Amino acid sequence: MASPFPAVVPASGDRKIRPGCELIDFRQEHQDGKILPKNGEKNVLITSALPYVNNQPHLVTYESPLELLKPRCSACGSTPTERLTAHLHIKLKELQPQIESWVKETSEKGTWSSNGKAFTNGWLKGGLQSRGMTRDLKWGVKLPEELGEKWAEKVMYVWFDAPIGYPSITANYTDEWKQWWQNPENVTLYQFMGKDNVPFHTVLFPAYLMGTNEPWTMLNSISTTEYLQYEGTKFSKSKNVGVFGQNARSTGVAASVWRYYLLQNRPETSDSEFTWDDFVARNNSELLNNLGNFVNRMLKFVNAKYESILPDPSSSSTSSSSSTVDYSLPESARAFAEEDAAFVSDIDGFLASFVNDMDHQKIRSALATIMQISARGNQFIQDNRVDNALLVSNPARAAQVVLATINLIYVLSALVHPFMPSTSDEILKQLNATPRSIPDKFEIVLLPGHHIGTASHLFGKIDLSNIEKWRGQFGGDSVSKPTTSVEEAPKLSRKQADKAKKEAKAQAEALKASVPRTPEQARLEEEIKGQGEVVRRLKLGEGKEGEVTEVELGKLQALKAELKEITEKLKAASL
């Protein structure tokens, strides 16, 4: 499993890296290696509940279990009996005014997803009632002994115990846990979860903290997801439908590919779908042909033409009138060629967009921005015709382009780390560079004279024949499994071959135009169309059980906003 921290890079005397860009490891600031917040600085605390796939539906929740007709145990078939029992409750009704005031202020100050707001307001509008915090179960967290023998056989309600686990896990990490959890002036709390866990984090957990009258670090921003479908149906482990963790490993596809696809397909504003066609297409077009091609192409060029040493455009010039730049000086960090002003401006814009997306938990959009940066790098190479001819006819210009593109690759190593840490580590290894921070502006940080490592491919091509093989393997027990023999692998039908040909052509055109996100626009348009139909049915009174007009309308508005944002980005990236 890849570490959340960049890999340790061995020391080297061949590096020439501008000071000040290095990634700060806050673990080194304390003797015990623990990371603690700093007063007056931005300190982010993140929690995550389970991500959600659309599994088999849960039971309907009733106000009283006595409403069930002919109840029976699904495990043993016996009929449950009715008896009186005592439980501890939290008085949510008394806390409702305080909770409502907090929700209004926090949802405006922080970043709350539309479904996060809708689910929370739905609970509040219905009126909060006292909620049992204990259960009569044999498993679970026992109540404190101080409560007495009456409660000795009770356990905590799971959604009372689970959120308290956030600070308790931190307390296991460091004795100074209160610096994180009781420091609202200096710590900002972000929480990630599936949509059905929203009220437990926006109503119940805050209520628990408010009830103590202590200065807790409270939720600031919440990022929730909708459902992830599988090939037009629902994930089901019991029915062997869908690909899960252990299955993903058995495919032999690198973890970085899985990370990229699932995050790029993250159901942030509406349900999304895992399909093998899309999985393979994104690997081959976006990761391999876009990002992988850009990194490998330029590093190989430096290996072959410059003996792995970054060239100095000043010393490469054959003109006596050419100005000399000392790239080691701080003021030379932005010493790009005049003809590259538009390219540098584009990268600056992408960096600002990426930081804004990450600040607002727009993970899919941030990943799209990374691909736009890589595509812009590919276009920059093509526009300048980087090859042997340029190296001979205009060595200074060749050096300028090489220096700029290698530094752009260094930027990408930092941008991809939150999503694909192993890929980031591999890029750093090939650059022979130490981990760097994410910049606000594009600068020359790897200086002339820096020795890079040996280029190698970051990603491999996935053969289209694997699509049907994996679809059969993970499509359910009723689906016949195709042979694993390469010779006996099923051939593609004419329809499938035509589809694959069209996809390949579309991918090539997308790469050539340096606009890799066109499939994302098409998908969003389809999602908007489907969500619009849901809203239309609700307005006509034909909605399905559980659908709420306000929630579904919020999803539609969020989808339209996301499409508009991505379209504007793509428009800005095109030349």
Concatenated DSSP letters of 521-545: HHHHHHHHHHHHHHHHHHHTT-PPT
Report pLDDT for 343: 97
Angle subtended by helix axes 293-305 and 395-415, to nearest 10: 140
Report pLDDT for 486: 37
Give the residues of the chain that fall short of pLDDT 70: 1-4, 50-65, 316-323, 477-520, 522, 539-551, 568-575
Of the candidates 259, 286, 290, 123, the residue with the CA atom closest to the CA atom of residue 202: 123
Report pLDDT for 513: 47
3-state percent helix, strand, coil for the chain, nearest multiple of 5: 50, 10, 40
- Cα distances from 525 to residues 113, 271, 512, 516, in angstroms, run 20, 13, 23, 16
Encode pLDDT of 359-407 as tens digits. Answer: 999 999 999 999 999 999 999 999 999 999 999 999 999 999 999 999 9
Coil vs helix vs strand at 229: strand
* Residues contacting 540, CB < 8 A, separation 6+: none
The maximal CA–CA distance of the chain, rounded, in angstroms, is: 97
Instruction: Give the count of beta carbons closer than 10 Å to the beta carbon of residue 86.
Output: 10
Of the candidates 435, 413, 432, the residue with the CA atom closest to the CA atom of residue 424: 413
Instruction: Give the count of beta carbons closer than 10 Å to the beta carbon of residue 541.
Output: 6
β-sheet bridge partners, residue 89: 132
Report pLDDT for 563: 78
- Cα distances from 561 to residues 64, 75, 205, 566, in angstroms, run 41, 47, 30, 9
Tokens 């930027």 belong to: 411
- Cα distances from 78 to residues 71, 73, 358, in angstroms, run 9, 5, 51
Instruction: To the nearest 10°, report the CA torsion of 352, 353, 357, 363.
Output: -120
Report pLDDT for 483: 40
Instruction: To the nearest 10°, report the CA torsion of 27, 28, 29, 31.
Output: 90
Is the Cα torsion angle 366, 367, 368, 372 positive or negative in sign?
positive
The answer to whether 376 and 344 have CB atoms below 8 angstroms apart is no
The token duo for 456 is: 């190698």
Encode pLDDT of 29-69 as tens digits. Answer: 877 888 999 999 999 999 988 654 554 444 444 456 677 88
Report pLDDT for 389: 94
Report pLDDT for 309: 97
Q: Which residues of 364-393 are buried (b: 16+ CB within 10 A; e: fewer)?
A: bbbbbbbbbbbbbbbbbbeebebeeeebee
The token duo for 317 is: 């010039």
